Each structure stands twice: as C-alpha cells, then as structure tokens.
C-alpha cells in the first residue's frame, strides 16, 4: 500500500462575531479619505514639491515663457489681440485653446511663417544655429507650401494661382454674405482653392494641419519640461499622500483603519475575521494604489469601477484589493475582533454552559444508564 502523501488542507474556523461593512459606509469612508488626501497633497505641493522643482527647473519662469509663446503662436483664441510691442502679453487672456474651424487654415499659416520663422531668423542672427541653406529656408512661405500644404499633390486643397498682382493674403468667398463661414476662407498669396471643393473637405484638411501644428508646439523644450515636472509631481504626490492616508494610519490604528474608516467605525481584518498583520496591510495598500489611483493615470475610472462592482455584489462586501490581500472590511459597531482562531475558540468554549462539579455523581449516572438500557 502506498501512503497518501498529500497533506489535508487546514480548515480555519471563521470568526462568527464579525459583520461586513456596508457598501454605503465603505463608500463614505473612501470619500472622506480622498478629501483628506487632497488637502494633504495641496499642503505637500506648496510646502515642499513646488519649491523644490522651481529651484531645479526654474519652473515658474518656464511656465510664464510657455504661456507667452502660446499667445504668440496664433494657435489659440485671445480675448484681445496682442499689441505690436507686446506690452499686454501678460494681461491678455486665452479664451480658448482651440481655434474654430473658420480660423484654422490662417492660424496654421501664421504659426509656421510668422511665429516659428521669426524665432528661426532670431537664431540665425544671433549665431545660435548655423547659417546654412536649410536653416535659411526652414519655415519660409515656400517651405510651408511644400512641407505642410503639399501643393502639387493630390492631398492638397490648394493649387498655384494663375492670376497675377494678387494681394499678400486673399480670401475665398464664404457660403453667404455676412454669415459666419462654414470653412476658413483664408488662401495664402500665390495659391487658390482647387475646383469643386466642399466645406467639409477644406475643414478636414485644415484641421489635420492645425493638429500637426499644435503637436509641434507641444514638443517645444518648455512644454517638455512642464510635462515632465507635472508627471513627476503628480506621481510623487499621489504615492506619498496615499501612503500616509492608506498605509501609515492603518499600520498605527488598532483595526487597520484609515481616518475615514475610524470616523465611520469600520475596520479591516483578514478574510476569516481575525486581526490582520502588517504585511497584509502593506499588500492591501499596494493593490489599492494600483487599482484605484495609479490606474487612473492610464485608464481612468475602469479599474475602480470594476472594484466597486465586485464589492457591491460580493457577499462579504470585499473589493478587488481585499481579494488580493485576503482581507475584508467589517462594521466595528456590530463586531468583535479576535487576534486569531485560537482566541475565538477559547472564548466560544468559555461561553458553553458547564455543570458544577458537585452536581455530577458518576455512580448514580451509571445505575440509571443500566436501568434504562436494560443491562
């Protein structure tokens, strides 16, 4: 005979004196914790994070320079036009970060041939870049026709005009006199719209080159620094503040509670209803961090929604991070938490009724048993 080498799986007696925390109370606790975390993040940002990054990257001046460039770029809508000497550049406000369809063709043209070309000429004049034929041609009107408008190709909406003596900028007629145009009627000098173009075709082309211009603007050095700093600050603030609210407090409070859970009389135990250890609280925090916080940087709402759905339809009201960490949230007002299974069994045994020792006579019991059994 072969011996059975399999060990029987130990069955743990669950704590019968715990009641799962209700969905509404749990949601309320999370909302309280998020409000506290938001306040903590703002304090941390203004007291520590912003001063540090401002010192390292000169962040405030980078943002100021970027905002000025945005107003000069012709890619946004300003409440009032910039003065020629730009004396109002810091006071004029951006009313929209997106140009309407009827302004995108002209805005894109000016972005390349005025804004970027102006910067290019300044770099050439200062010797910042080499005075080569390529640099001399970059962002000129001719360069714009060839590389952005792609005049002479099937995808272009313009063709070279056969008319002479044209103005520097001419405009195509809009759909009706005095009405807002259905498309941008702007046409660069020397070009004209191809025949039989629809407003939809013009808008589609202008939107494509406008979006390419916006992307080019967003790849400029100042914007790269701003995006880098914002990403780093957000991740650090999120991790540090959530660590304090969802890890440090639970490690110090008696029942693994956050401030929100403590206020609403909720606690955390292991799956069987016993006191949860520090390692499990650590695992629970990291699962919560990934599912409910960091995931929102990539896929907003999806994972938190799945976790809430699991909690709502789970008999023990366990959310996704509870399942991963083998924990559950209980209602402390209606529960009694024990350190382990042994303590629970000991308490249960102590509650069983026991006859006093003097009330039991073994001889009398034996005689009565013999009589009743007929022995």
DSSP 330: E
Flag whether pLDDT at 304 surpasses 60: yes
- The 10s digit of each residue's pLDDT in 36-45 is 999 999 999 9
DSSP 29: H
Closest CA to 74 of 54, 94, 46, 56: 94
- The 10s digit of each residue's pLDDT in 207-235 is 999 999 999 999 999 999 999 999 999 88
DSSP 114: I
* Chain centre to alpha carbon of residue 263: 28
92 near 69, Cβ under 8 Å?
no
Question: Which three-class secondary structure state does DSSP give residue 290?
Answer: helix
- Radius of gyration, alpha carbons of the chain: 36
Quote the tokens at residue 126: 């200062």
Pairing of strands 77-78, 94-96: antiparallel
Flag whether pLDDT at 205 surpasses 90: yes
- Which pLDDT score is estimated for 8? 52
Q: Residue ranges of the domains in the chain?
A: 23-50+237-344, 57-225
DSSP 284: H
- The 10s digit of each residue's pLDDT in 249-279 is 999 998 999 999 999 999 999 999 999 999 9
Q: What is the pTM of this model?
A: 0.72
* Chain centre to alpha carbon of residue 60: 23
CA distances from 307 to 158, 292, 295, 310 (A): 53, 8, 12, 5
CA distance 54 to 164: 55
- Which pLDDT score is estimated for 182? 80
- The 10s digit of each residue's pLDDT in 126-165 is 999 999 999 999 999 999 999 999 998 999 999 998 655 4
The DSSP result for 121-179, as a single string, is HHHHHHTSS---HHHHHTTSHHHHIIIII-TTSTT-SEEE---SS--SEEE---SSTTS
Most distant CA atoms of the chain, gap in Å = 134
Backbone torsions φ then ψ of 353, nearest 5 degrees: -70, 135
- Which pLDDT score is estimated for 314? 74
For the chain, give the percent of residues with pLDDT over 70.
Answer: 82
CA distance 195 to 176: 18
Residue 352: Cβ within 10 Å count? 6
CA distance 109 to 113: 6
27 near 260, Cβ under 8 Å?
no
| Residue carrying structure tokens 């009107």 | 141
Average pLDDT over residues 109-135: 94
Flag whether pLDDT at 310 surpasses 90: no
Flag whether pLDDT at 5 surpasses 70: no
Quote the tokens at residue 346: 């000991």
Long-range contact pairs involving 236-241 (C-beta distance under 8 Å, separation at least 24): 236/49, 237/41, 237/44, 237/45, 237/49, 238/41, 238/293, 238/294, 239/289, 240/44, 241/37, 241/40, 241/41, 241/44
């Amino acid at each position: 005979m072969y011996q059975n080498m399999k060990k029987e799986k130990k069955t743990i007696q669950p704590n019968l004196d715990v009641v799962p925390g209700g969905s509404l109370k749990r949601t309320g606790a999370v909302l309280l914790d998020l409000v506290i975390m938001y306040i903590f993040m703002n304090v941390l940002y203004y007291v520590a994070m912003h001063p540090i990054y401002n010192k390292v990257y000169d962040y405030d001046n980078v943002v100021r320079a970027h905002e000025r460039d945005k107003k000069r770029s012709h890619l946004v809508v300003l409440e009032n036009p910039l003065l020629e000497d730009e004396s109002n550049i810091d006071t004029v406000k951006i009313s929209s970060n997106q140009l309407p369809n009827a302004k995108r063709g002209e805005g894109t043209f000016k972005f390349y041939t005025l804004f970027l070309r102006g910067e290019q000429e300044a770099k050439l004049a200062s010797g910042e870049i080499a005075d080569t034929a390529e640099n001399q041609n970059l962002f000129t009107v001719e360069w714009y026709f060839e590389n952005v408008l792609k005049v002479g190709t099937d995808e272009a909406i313009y063709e070279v005009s056969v008319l002479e003596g044209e103005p520097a900028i001419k405009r195509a007629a809009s759909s009706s006199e005095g009405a807002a145009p259905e498309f941008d009627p702007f046409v660069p000098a020397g070009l004209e719209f191809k025949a039989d173009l629809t407003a939809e075709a013009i808008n589609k082309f202008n939107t494509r080159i406008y979006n390419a211009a916006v992307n080019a603007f967003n790849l400029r050095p100042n914007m790269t620094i701003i995006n880098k700093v914002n990403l780093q600050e957000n991740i650090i603030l999120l991790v540090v503040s959530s660590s304090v609210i969802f890890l440090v407090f639970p490690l110090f409070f008696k029942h693994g509670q956050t401030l929100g859970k403590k206020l609403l009389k909720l606690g955390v135990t292991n799956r069987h209803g016993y006191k949860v250890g520090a390692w499990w609280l650590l695992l629970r925090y990291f699962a919560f961090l990934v599912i409910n916080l960091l995931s929102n940087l990539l896929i907003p709402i999806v994972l938190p929604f799945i976790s809430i759905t699991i909690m709502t339809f789970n008999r023990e009201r366990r959310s996704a991070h509870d399942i991963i960490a083998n924990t559950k949230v209980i209602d402390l007002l209606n529960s009694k938490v024990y350190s382990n299974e042994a303590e629970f069994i000991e308490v249960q045994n102590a509650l069983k009724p026991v006859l006093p020792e003097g009330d039991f006579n073994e001889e009398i019991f034996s005689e009565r048993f013999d009589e009743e059994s007929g022995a």
